[in-house]
Structure 1
Amino acid sequence: MKQLASVTFLALLLQSSSVDCTTQHGFQLPAPIANLDDAIFTGTFVGDTAQFLGIPFAQPPIGSLRLQVPQPLPPYQGQHTASTYGPACHQHGSSIQRWIVPGTTETSEDCLTLNVFTPAVKLPGSTLPVIVFLFPGAFETGSGKSGFEDVLVSRSVLLDEPVIYVSLNYRLSAWGFLASEEVKRAGTGNLGLRDQRLALHWVQKYISAFGGDPAKVTIWGESAGAISVALQMLAYDGNNEGLFRAAFMQSGSPTPMGDITHGQRYYDFIVDKTGCKGSNDTLECLRGVPGDVLHAAVDKTPSSSSYQALALAWMPRADGIFLTDNFQRLVKEGKIANVPFITGSCDDEGTLFSFSTTNITTSEDFRGYLETYWAPNATNEEIDGILDMYSEDPIKGSPFDTGNFDKLTSQFKRIAAFQGDSVFQAPRRFLLSERSGKQNTWAYLNKGHKAVPLLGSFHGSDFVDEMLGGSGSPLDYLIRFAAHLDPNANTGIFWPQYTAESKDMLMFGEWPWSPPTIIQDTYREEAMEYLINFGLAHPL
């Protein structure tokens, strides 16, 4: 505690100074440096954090390395200025996520870089816990430039629990999640997840140079980032290779995804639009297609803001190597890293993704939508089950508990309830029901921002609270969890572990001034149980 208190005191002293933390009494502090291999990386001070930006962690995935498994770099050499973010990986051009996910506007295929943020003041020999963030964006968009890096580090110092924070880029859309029989044979599936994995290996090798403890790594993600965290737990049948000791998932769990060949139609579309259709090796042909031609073809494929919404075109799938089976079957078979984890959801996860379906105005329209995009092989009786469980009565739809309000169309609240439960809530409950009692688990539900018209407690609303850096958000629990593998400590309420018997959850209140309370994870029990079984039978 003496070390923590010293770090806190010095950081507060610098914060309260009339000058920036890079100066003290008019004296310019030297820029922070990190020695990696035979190289020196020079960062910058911003507020009470030291930042090292745009550090490459893999060989550029360009030329012959496009659509290939990421390759490690040779040892670093020379002098490097690490003061600007690297470009984001190429984005899916039509995604609604661009509106809500912070990031840089500059994109490139040469994008595999990461960023390290530390308290500006660290005692010599510091071995701080490390939080590695996997960004959201539906596997279509986003970057390691989240916009709240200084918030997290500053908050950790104020809590007397200083941490080091790492963010990274990973390949997206078709560049990171191309899926087909050809990709399966080549062994190049789930490249975005494998980018993340290589970055985690980088952390093990180099984070001590920044004052971090490689034995105290927590992986954290929101939305697609949270799904990524879950899949890192399932990778190689649960062998986490010592890369992390804990996981924190916000709005994302192992989703019901099937074999990588399920993406064949999107692969075939790209091959056709890029002129590779007649090639003897279409995958090799795609590696040589001009970047703008490939980008234009990818942008013509569906995104999360398209009509099919969360039935995504580009997403992780079982490739037989990194992920050996349907994700939920891996969970059932216990092929998951045995580390403590926290997982939570927002109450109205599906509203944000249901505006593209407002032309669905009848129950028959909804049936056709399900049959076309969500389960083309399901029987009529199985589809009937979804229609029965998710009534068109707006009182039962999402935003939940808003009565007849927020009824954009006659089917909007119904579709929002289905999408939110099938992709976020039911997979979360399934993961907890399978793993509670076998590893330490905690769960939460966020009901904040419930009064937002049409959206309610929308997907990512807990994340918004975290970015503001206030007390009582999931951020405080994350920091304490990363430090102690337990989210409790001076939080005002004891957060019990989730068990099959109690199903205790921490609920963040409906209003900013509402304190957290403990509830049970039993809402919409029959409907979500139906979706769990449906997803196991009909993975996307």
Structure 2
Amino acid sequence: MMLRLSLLLTTCWAFVAASTSNNPATPTVTLDNATITGIASDSVNMWLGIPFALPPTGNLRFQLPQPIPPYNTNYSATAYGLACPQQALTIPNVQGLPAETLAYFAAATDTNYSSSEDCLTLNVFAPADATPQSGLPVVIWIFGGGFQIGGTSTYNGSVIVNASITLNVPAVYVSINYRLTAFGFLASQEVKDAGVGNLGLQDQRQAMRWVQKYISAFGGDPTKVTIWGQSSGSMSVALHMVTNGGNTEGLFRAAFMESGSPLPVGDITHGQGYYDFLVDQTGCANSSDTLQCLREVPYSALMDAINQTPNIFSYPGMFLIWLPRVDGVFLTADPQDLVLQGSVADIPFITGDCDDEGTLFSFSSLNVTTDSQFEEYIQYWFPDAPSATIQQLMEYYPGNITQGSPFDTGDLNALTPQFKRVAAFQGDMSFHARRRFFLEQRSSNQNTWAFLSKRLKTVPYLGSFHASDLLNIYTGGDVVSRLVRFVANLDPNGVGDLEWPMWTSYSPNLLTFLDGSVPQEITQDTYRAEAIACMIKLGLEYPI
């Protein structure tokens, strides 16, 4: 199988950085021998676009991130840095969708980022009264986007910092850029031999080291860091938990994951075919060192080749080609095997999903309209699985539209005869099964909480779609209080909130977010038990 991931925060509900207020004070910090100037905005100071590593350009393309040398030149950190190169998306052309659905879908597929290879920057948001002596907890945000798209500029950290101030648990927020698509996740024997796999994850790790070195200047405590991500950002968080034998190197003490868990992936050489495609398309096939040749290829030529490869909206959906793989360095084995081995950071964590994770990605599979085509679709995901296994999966995910996703919507939302079936399969395979497996393996070893978002269930064809839970954070919703309390106290509970019990094997509690007059309730993580157990087993047997 492959990790199919996911997405992107949308400008539909993500804010851009707050505008500068009339506060005459201009915030500055001293890093090494340089003064870094930021922006004052009401109760929050922010520093944007700070380089945390050398630009990965020229001969540093497809190389491990290189630490930034000591700062010795004053720097104006008043604008976001450019996003890393983005994969072009193949947006499905679906006719006849309601305006509400089209609006959410358009927002979720927006790739309006200015990008450049020179992109390894981060942003810091802190309470305006924070000083180097404040010792505030820190949260590091890792955006999602299927390891193919995304950036930091659509996420306003002021929302998080202001919420922490209001709840009297002030915190510092950091968001980081990292290399994406082939620039961050090139995969082949050549890449393995050079020890330069999983560069996007290595970028994230380097940013965490920067935080350890410099965050106290902004008022943060480097011993109180929580890493937090959504979708592929959440998967990244999980992989930081299983790398290095579970040793965090003191880089973080807790994790918060939205729609992403340790994923079942195989060796980095499984991406050889796409590496060879780039080599052929860029004229490097006859080179004695194809990896070095790719470093020297003009940026535009390399991007043209990358954009001819499948993306997160290609058939059959979340079957991705640019993603973390077992490289022998960052990942020494399939992440799920590492979990089974106990190679997991012993830290508290929160993890959760949206109810209808698969709907957003199933518009690219509308050509699947019959039982036989659905069988072929499943076989595409598990080419080595025997026919009996495929038939069993078809029984677990039947053609009865009342059992498909968006779940609990009866006969509604059947865009095609197989749409809800495909969506149910994709959501469980890529998200729900991975999360449940992680909790089953780790809840007896460390403090774990889990949630399920069932909000926006009435959005036609999408339901409680992937990334919709972020509406309840970056717009100041009720999830943000759980986040900031966890960052501060390693416990998401607090005065005025519904008590959120931990997830355990004997009581798999879910804090479930709902529409309507009762916004939260505690439910049990037992839905689709047999189907999800089968997905877990297949993930262990057939990693991509």
TM-score by length of 1: 0.93
Q: Which residue number in structure 2 is paired with residue 52 of structure 1? A: 47
| Unmatched runs of 5 consecutive residues or more in structure 2 | 1-18, 92-104
Letter in 1 for 2:151: S
**Matched-pair contact (CA < 8 Å) for 1:130–1:165:** yes
Q: Which residue number in structure 1 is paired with residue 391 of structure 2? A: 384
Alpha-carbon distance in structure 2 between the residues aligned to 1:117 and 1:358:
42
Letter in 1 for 2:518: S
Q: 1:185 to 1:20 in 2, by over 3 A?
A: closer
Alpha-carbon distance in structure 1 between the residues aligned to 2:392 and 2:61:
43
**Matched-pair contact (CA < 8 Å) for 1:94–1:305:** yes
Q: Note the 1:356-367 alignment, pairs <5 A.
A: 356-367=364-375
Are 1:437 and 2:444 counterparts? Answer: yes
Q: Note the 1:252-291 alignment, pairs <5 A.
A: 252-291=260-299
Alpha-carbon distance in structure 2 between the residues aligned to 1:441 and 1:505:
11
Alpha-carbon distance in structure 2 between the residues aligned to 1:102 and 1:247:
27
**Matched-pair contact (CA < 8 Å) for 1:480–1:488:** yes
Task: Provide the aligned C-alpha RMSD in A.
Answer: 1.5
Q: Which residue number in structure 1 is paired with residue 7 of structure 2? A: none
**Matched-pair contact (CA < 8 Å) for 1:258–1:317:** yes
Q: Deviations over 1:317-343 (max 9, x none)?
A: 111110111110100111011110000
Alpha-carbon distance in structure 1 between the residues aligned to 2:481 and 2:273:
44
Are 1:33 and 2:61 counterparts? Answer: no
**Matched-pair contact (CA < 8 Å) for 1:161–1:480:** yes
Q: After the TM superposition, which segments of 4 or more aligned residues of structure 1 sit over 3 Å from their partners?
A: 19-22, 95-99, 101-104
Q: Note the 1:124-139 alignment, pairs <5 A.
A: 125-139=133-147
Q: CA deviation at 1:148?
A: 2.4
Alpha-carbon distance in structure 1 between the residues aligned to 2:68 and 2:395:
54
Letter in 2 for 1:521: D
Letter in 1 for 2:513: F
Q: Which residue number in structure 2 is paired with residue 455 of structure 1? A: 462
Q: 1:81 aligns with which of 76, 88, 97?
A: 76
**Matched-pair contact (CA < 8 Å) for 2:132–2:218:** no
Letter in 2 for 1:73: I
Find the residue that maps to 2:333 and give its secondary structure.
coil
Q: Which residue number in structure 1 is paired with residue 339 of structure 2? A: 331
Letter in 2 for 1:431: F
Matched-pair identity in %: 53
Q: Which residue number in structure 1 is paired with residue 86 of structure 2? A: 91
**Matched-pair contact (CA < 8 Å) for 1:101–1:142:** no
Find the residue that maps to 1:391 and give its secondary structure.
coil
Q: Which residue number in structure 2 is paired with residue 163 of structure 1? A: 171
Are 1:322 and 2:330 counterparts? Answer: yes
**Matched-pair contact (CA < 8 Å) for 1:104–1:145:** no
**Matched-pair contact (CA < 8 Å) for 1:101–1:136:** no
Q: Which residue number in structure 2 is paired with residue 144 of structure 1? A: 152
Q: 1:294 to 1:99 in 2, by over 3 A?
A: farther
| Unmatched runs of 5 consecutive residues or more in structure 1 | 1-18
Q: Which residue number in structure 2 is paired with residue 515 of structure 1? A: 519
Are 1:531 and 2:507 counterparts? Answer: no
Q: CA deviation at 1:123?
A: 5.5
Q: Which residue number in structure 2 is paired with residue 62 of structure 1? A: 57
Find the residue that maps to 1:77 and give its secondary structure.
coil
Tell which has more relative contact order, 1 or 2 (C-alpha 8 A, sep 6+): 2
**Matched-pair contact (CA < 8 Å) for 2:113–2:150:** no
Q: Note the 1:98-497 alignment, pairs <5 A.
A: 99-100=107-108, 105-122=113-130, 125-372=133-380, 374-470=381-477, 472=478, 474-497=479-502
Equivalent residue pairs, number:
513
**Matched-pair contact (CA < 8 Å) for 1:21–1:48:** no
Q: CA deviation at 1:364?
A: 1.1
TM-score by length of 2: 0.92
Letter in 2 for 1:455: L
Alpha-carbon distance in structure 2 between the residues aligned to 1:451 and 1:71:
47
Alpha-carbon distance in structure 1 between the residues aligned to 2:460 and 2:493:
33
